[in-house]
């Protein structure tokens, strides 16, 4: 039986703009299971970024429940939300978001330091760099890397805390079609091999065939794409 790793139950998010209430997400329900890679597509302003922020415990919903690895995170304190992000969730950002003054290896070693697990970090970091074909670049700084290499470093960094859920925000946006596809193939491979759950927000229809499911979001509502 497949284990659910990320679950949204009747999640709504709204903001008050003066006397107007703006609903960004409306009664969203979604379950992502172990070993499943889900793409979320939709026009700008449809609620994709808000969905990803709530899934990543960066925002709390106005109503509804969110579960990460079967634990409800909806009403956690700021400290507990931070712990959840550090231990359970791996983020892959658009444009990689690497720290310019850290080498490739040090980009990864920051994560276990934040988790208070400094000793276990280096072996895992080197293993991930080996897997992703980056060992020969481990002492380089981001400005010496290609766009594809920077995104591979971002994937390795996202996997450093051995997260249950991987969230990718437009990971192909700054890449050409060939490099973009390779990056998404790597995410898909890691999801299957390590039994993770992953959600990718994307505009890139050329990589949707690599996902198990495609979900469309429009006006804050989710619907399975056919």
**Tens of pLDDT along 49-104?**
899 999 999 889 999 999 998 889 988 888 888 888 888 999 988 878 899 999 99
Give the pLDDT mean for 114-143: 84
Q: What is the C-alpha separation between 176 and 40, in angstroms, rounded?
A: 20
Q: What torsion do the CA atoms of 206, 212, 214, 215 make, to the nearest 10 degrees?
A: -150
Residue-averaged pLDDT of the chain: 89
CA 215 to mean position of chain CA atoms: 16
What is the pLDDT, as a whole number, of residue 169?
A: 92
Task: Give the residue ranges of DSSP H helices in 23-160.
Answer: 48-55, 78-88, 104-114, 118-131, 147-159
Domain count, the chain: 1
Predicted confidence (pLDDT) at residue 117 exceeds the cutoff of 80: no
Q: Per residue in 162-202, pLDDT tens?
A: 899 999 999 888 788 888 898 899 899 989 988 999 999 99
Please name the residues in contact with 220: beta carbons below 8 A apart, sequence gap of 6 or more. 13, 23, 24, 25, 26, 28, 46, 47
Within 10 A of 54 (CB to CB), how many other CB atoms are there?
Answer: 24
Contact 207, 178 (CB under 8 A): no
Query: Band of the pLDDT at 119, cuts 50, 70, 90?
Result: low
> For the whole model, what pTM was predicted?
0.89
DSSP H or E run through 67: strand 63-68
Predicted confidence (pLDDT) at residue 224 exceeds the cutoff of 80: no
Predicted confidence (pLDDT) at residue 226 exceeds the cutoff of 70: no
Within 10 A of 146 (CB to CB), how many other CB atoms are there?
Answer: 11
Q: What is the CATH number of the domain that holds 169?
A: 3.40.50.300
What is the pLDDT, as a whole number, of residue 162?
A: 87
Q: Residue 163 sits in which domain range?
A: 4-224
What is the pLDDT, as a whole number, of residue 89?
A: 93
Q: What is the C-alpha separation between 77 and 198, in angstroms, rounded?
A: 24
């Amino acid at each position: 039986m497949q284990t659910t790793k990320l679950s949204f139950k009747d999640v709504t998010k709204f903001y008050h703009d003066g006397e107007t209430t703006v609903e960004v997400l409306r009664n969203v329900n979604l379950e992502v299971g172990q070993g499943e890679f889900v793409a979320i597509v939709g026009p700008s302003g449809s609620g994709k970024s808000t969905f990803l922020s709530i899934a990543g415990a960066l925002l709390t919903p106005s109503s509804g429940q969110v579960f990460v690895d079967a634990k409800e995170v909806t009403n956690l304190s700021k400290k507990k939300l931070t712990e959840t992000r550090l231990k359970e969730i791996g983020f892959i950002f658009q444009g990689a978001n690497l720290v310019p003054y850290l080498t490739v290896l040090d980009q990864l070693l920051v994560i276990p330091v934040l988790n208070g697990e400094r000793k276990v970090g280096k072996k895992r970091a080197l293993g991930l760099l080996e897997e992703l074909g980056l060992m020969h670049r481990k002492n380089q700084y981001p400005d010496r890397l290609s766009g594809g290499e920077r995104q591979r470093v971002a994937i390795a960094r996202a996997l450093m805390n051995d997260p249950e859920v991987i969230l990718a925000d437009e990971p192909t946006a700054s890449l050409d079609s060939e490099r973009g596809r390779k990056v998404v193939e790597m995410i898909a491979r890691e999801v299957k091999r390590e039994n993770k759950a992953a959600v990718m927000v994307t505009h890139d229809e050329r990589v949707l065939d690599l996902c198990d499911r495609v979900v469309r979001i429009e006006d804050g509502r989710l619907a399975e794409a056919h």
